[in-house]
Amino acid sequence: MLSKEFRKKFDTETNNFYKASIKQDYQLFMQKMDSIENVALTGALLKTKNLEDLDKLKLLNKNLPLEPSLPSVVIDKAADYPGGINELRKEVADLFYLGGIYSDIKTIKANVGFIVETDGRISNVKAEGDNYTFNRQAEIAVYSVSQKFSPAIVNGNPVRYRFRLPLTMNIE
């Protein structure tokens, strides 16, 4: 509704200087709205990241490597989401809060990387793309998936697995 009102005001304005001002006001307003609407989700995301950082410190105290020492390992079975990659994409898309994204570009892309832990939970989610708000929403959506992964298997043992999920969304 607010977007429509800003768009109506923008479309009726004939002076380009005022149009630019309206666009800037809209961007600032949407950034503030985004921060207000996402306080709880961002708080949960920060709590999760803090817990992950504490887990890393525990690993460092035990002198265990965070990453495998070998550059590549033959994997018996890769980590998998129940229902497969398409089910994961569908759930992430359903969890995405599009109202928190502002972009003049209609097609937005990001690569979301995360770790599937040995117990199947997700950690260390990091989205990389050109749109900051899209990246943040992607991270929140991935952290919010409802089911655990089946972990990767090497030599019959569950192992941590780096998972990469490319995302593309068309914003209309």
Within a 10 A sphere around the Cβ of 89, how many other Cβ atoms?
14
Q: What is the pLDDT of residue 83?
A: 93
The tens-digit pLDDT sequence of the chain (172 residues) is 667 777 788 888 888 888 888 888 887 777 766 655 555 566 666 666 666 666 665 555 555 454 555 456 678 899 999 999 999 999 998 888 777 777 788 899 999 999 999 999 998 899 999 888 888 888 888 988 989 999 999 989 999 999 999 999 887 7
Give residue 24's pLDDT.
Answer: 83
Predicted local confidence at residue 14, as pLDDT: 86
The answer for residues whose C-beta is within 8 angstroms of residue 81's C-beta and 6 or more apart is 87, 88, 145, 147, 149, 150
Domain boundaries, the chain: 70-170
Distance CA 123, CA 93 (A): 19
Given this model, what pLDDT does residue 21 score? Answer: 86
Q: Which residue is it, tokens 């495998």?
A: 68
> Would the pTM count as exceeding 0.75?
no
- Return the pLDDT at 69: 52
Cα separation, 158 vs 29, whole angstroms: 47
pLDDT, position 73:
66
Instruction: Report pLDDT for 33.
Output: 63
Rg (Cα) of the chain, in Å, rounded?
20
Assign domain 70-170 one CATH number from 3.30.2420, 3.40.50, 2.20.25, 3.30.720. Answer: 3.30.2420
Tokens 């079975």 map to which residue? 77
- The strand ranges marked E within the chain are 107-116, 122-129, 152-154, 157-159, 161-170
